[in-house]
């Protein structure tokens, strides 16, 4: 069984360094992956510019890597994946965006993320409610998107997203 690295990057007002803040349930979910699969869990603020270096230096390069981002954290995950893929022997095995919001285009309701062709397993769970109730964006290619009828703050607790992450970790772990 392989050890899997999971990096979870919540959005704007969630503080993963503060143990009293549950990151809208993402901290507890990440901890359940540690308990269930022994993953190496990295929780990081979306403002953390050095996240690719943190992941590259703190994990075994042979470990599968799963990047999960919610809200502004989704944009940071895409930037991190792009930088990791540029490293020698860099890789990202899966990306899960949960109602992602582009940091520099947050006011543009028509913005779409581009999927990364080097990453074979990627998905975006986004609110199917109209903007601004459905705050997050999606991938340009609709084949990578799953719309869910939930408000932005409720998206990290959506069973379909958490189930996808769990199944992906399980697949990489075995």
- 80-98 confidence digits (pLDDT tens): 999 999 988 889 999 999 9
Tens-digit pLDDT profile for residues 18-31: 544 556 778 889 99
Confirm if 79 and 102 have CB atoms less than 8 A apart.
Answer: no
User: H or E stretch including 168?
Assistant: helix 159-173
pLDDT of residue 20: 45
β-strand 94-98 against 40-43: which pairing, if any?
unpaired
Q: What is the pLDDT of residue 114?
A: 97
**pLDDT value of residue 12:** 66
Here the tokens at position 159 are 């069973």
Q: What pLDDT is stored for residue 60 in this prediction?
A: 81
* 118 neighbors 107 (Cβ within 8 angstroms): no
Domain count, the chain: 1
| Residue 43 CB neighbour total at 10 angstroms | 18
How far is the CA of 42 from the CAs of 136, 141, 149, in angstroms?
23, 28, 29
pLDDT of residue 19: 47
pTM, two decimal places: 0.92
User: Most distant CA pair in the chain: distance in Å?
Assistant: 43
Are 144 and 15 spatial neighbours (Cβ–Cβ below 8 Å)? no
Helix (H, G, I), strand (E, B) or coil at 69: strand
Show Cβ contacts of residue 131 under 8 Å, excluding neighbours closer than 6 positions: 109
For residue 91, give the CATH number of its domain.
3.40.50.1820
State how beta strands 138-139 and 5-9 pair.
unpaired
**Under-70 pLDDT residues of the chain:** 12-23
SS3 152: helix
Question: Residue 62's domain spans which residues?
Answer: 5-173
Write down the pLDDT at residue 11. Answer: 81
């Amino acid at each position: 069984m392989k050890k899997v690295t999971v990096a979870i990057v919540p959005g704007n007002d969630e503080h993963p360094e503060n143990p009293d803040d549950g990151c809208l349930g993402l901290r507890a979910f990440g901890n359940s992956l540690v308990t269930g699969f022994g993953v190496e869990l990295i929780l990081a603020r979306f403002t953390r510019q050095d996240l690719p270096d943190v992941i590259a230096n703190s994990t075994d390069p042979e470990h599968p890597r799963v990047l999960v981002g919610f809200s502004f954290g989704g944009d940071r995950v895409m930037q991190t994946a792009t930088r990791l893929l540029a490293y020698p022997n860099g890789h990202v095995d899966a990306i899960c965006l949960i109602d992602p919001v582009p940091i520099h285009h947050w006011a543009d309701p028509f913005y779409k993320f581009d999927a990364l062709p080097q990453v074979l397993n990627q998905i975006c769970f986004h609110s199917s409610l109209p903007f601004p109730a459905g705050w997050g964006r999606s991938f340009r290619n609709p084949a990578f998107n799953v719309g869910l009828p939930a408000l932005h703050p409720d998206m990290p607790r959506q069973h379909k997203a958490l189930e996808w992450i769990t199944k992906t970790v399980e697949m990489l772990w075995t």
